[in-house]
Amino acid sequence: MKKLGKAVVLSLILMALVGLARKTPLTYVDQRHQNTTGGDLDVVKEIHNLRVKVQRVLDTIAAQMPATTQRYLPTVYVVTPTYQRLEQIPEITRLGQTLMNVPKVHWIVAEDANTTNPEMVKYLQFTGIPYTYLLTPMPEEYKKRTGVPKPRGVANRNGGMDWIRMHATEGVMYFADDDNTYDIRIFEEMRYTKRVSMFPVGLVTHFGLSTPVVKDGNFVEWYDGWVAGRKFPVDMAGFAVSVQFLLSVPSAKMPFQPGYEETGFLSSLFIKPQDLEFVADNCTKIYVWHTKTQKNQRSSRMILDPKYDGTNLRQLQTHMTISDN
């Protein structure tokens, strides 16, 4: 019998460790240890923190292993709503470059459009990331509204959830807007979500932060600059949902109600704040930021000058939106 190569042996060991980790709850929830107090409780927390650190190491190794090994990781389904604008491809590029460094991810890009965007499809193909491209236009009844905010991104996210319900059985779902900034560690934090995990989001409202307030592993209250009577005053980028849990609540949807999309969706899952899983070291680390890209003006018509005929500018022009005057 031929000797097994080092990579094969490492793969087998990793597969065994990942299999063990998947059977072990990763998120410390004090409810599970209601009868544990004092020193015993500290031990439980230390064990939990150690498991989380071990899992991060395993996921880092997995990213460098063959695809046959990565398949044992739970899939992270990233749902990204988008719409055509000058900044669309640059922002999708930034997010794509992040996801290219995340193992076992499936990118669901849902565009608010009625026709396919060739530039979008071309970039998605370039990344090499397993992806699904959906056309999910905003319903006309909301698009025609004037003088009031429109529920942007709702049809896109609901469309992504519908696709997951039809094609997925395990893993975790995450709403990742294309204008945010993500540390790849956030995807490993959420990968083993049992029901709903939460984590801080930076640069949100004048508070500069949106997060659950956690003390000794327990939920205390919310810290967010716009509570407005919401049961879950959180940012869209601040939570992830287990696919299995999502499938167990077929009626869960995001409402077409501007400003209340997050709380409406989480409420439809019939989850309680006390049942949430607080990741990112018990919500002490920030791995995602609600950044905003400055709106840009259309490009000058200078590029249309005939003197540029036959030069590279004619090709670059196809990627630009030229001003009308």
Q: Which residues contact 163 (CB under 8 A, 6 or more apart)?
A: 108, 132, 134
Q: Among candidates 180, 176, 167, 182, which has minimal Cα distance to 246?
A: 167
Q: Active-site residue among 188, 261, 262, 277? A: 262
State the Cα–Cα distance between residues 292 and 94, nearest whole angstrom.
13
Annotation marks residue 262 as catalytic: yes
Longest dimension (CA), the chain: 80
Q: Among candidates 145, 171, 166, which has minimal Cα distance to 73?
A: 171
Residues 231 and 267: beta-carbon distance below 8 Å: yes
| CA dihedral (9, 22, 213, 157) positive or negative | positive
For residue 110, list its beta bridge partners.
Answer: 81, 134
Active-site positions?
262
